[in-house]
Amino acid sequence: MPRRLEDGDDNGRFCSTRCREWYDTGNPAYDPGYASKANSRWYSLSMGKHGFLVPCAGCDKTFDSKGLRCCSTECERGLARRRETDQLRAEAGVEFESKLGPKRKCLHCGSDIPRWRNGRLVSKATRFCTPKCKGAFSRASNRGR
C-alpha cells in the first residue's frame, strides 16, 4: 500500500506535493546519480567542517556552505541589489564601466592587488598583493641568476 502524505496525497512515488507538482509541470525528475560519489563533481569541491568550501556569490570569499550561495544575509541582499540594478541597466540599454577599471594582478601569485590597505589608497606602483608575495618573487628571481 502506498504511503499517505500529511496533505492527503496518496501517490507514494513523490516525497511531497511540491515534488509532484514540480514533475507535473514538465520539469525533470530528480537524478539520484547527480549527488552520488560516482559523479566527478563530488571530488572537485573541497570539504569544510560542515559542508563544501565554495566562493561566496556576493563577496567572492571562500566559506563553508551547506548549500547556500552567499556567506551572509548581507551578501545575499547585496547580490540581489546588484542583479536588480544590472537588469534595470540592461532594460534601459545603459552600459556601465567602472571608473577604476579592472583590478591589477599580483606579479607572483596572480591574485587581485587591493585598492585600499589599512585605510589608505594603495599606490599604483605596487606590484604585489602582500609582502610575502614580494619576498617569494625576489627569492625566485635570485635563483634564476
Q: From CA 59, how far away is CA 106, in angstroms rounded?
A: 19
Other beta carbons within 10 Å of 7: 8
* C-alpha neighbours within 13 Å on the C-beta side of residue 55: 4
Distance of CA 17 to the CA centre of its chain: 31
Give this prediction's pTM: 0.40
The tens digit of pLDDT for each residue in 56-82 reads 888 888 898 888 889 999 999 999 999
pLDDT of the residue at 128: 92
Name residues of the chain where pLDDT drops below 50. 1-2, 4-5
Please write down the HEC assignment for all residues of the chain. CCCCCCCCCCCCCCCCHHHHHHHHCCCCCCCCCCCCCCCCHHHHCCECCCCEEEECCCCCCEEEECCCCCCCHHHHHHHHHHHHHHHHHHHHCCCCCCCCCCCCECCCCCCECCCEECCEECCCCCCCCCHHHHHHHHHHHHHCC
Cell of 86: 544590472
